[in-house]
Amino acid sequence: MPANNTEIEKRLWDAADELRANSKLKSSEYSVPVLGLIFLRFADHKLAKAEQWLVGAQRTLNPLLPRLVSGEVSVDGLEIV
Q: What is the pLDDT of residue 81?
A: 52
Indicate whether 79 pLDDT > 70: no
Q: With 90 as the cut, is the pLDDT of residue 24 above it?
A: no
Taking the C-alpha atoms of residue 75 and residue 11, their distance in angstroms, rounded to an integer, is 45
Alpha carbon 81 to its chain centroid, in Å, reads 18
Whole-structure pTM value = 0.51
Using CA atoms in the order 19, 20, 24, 28, what is the torsion angle rounded to 10 degrees?
100
CA distances from 65 to 50, 55, 56, 79 (A): 21, 15, 14, 15
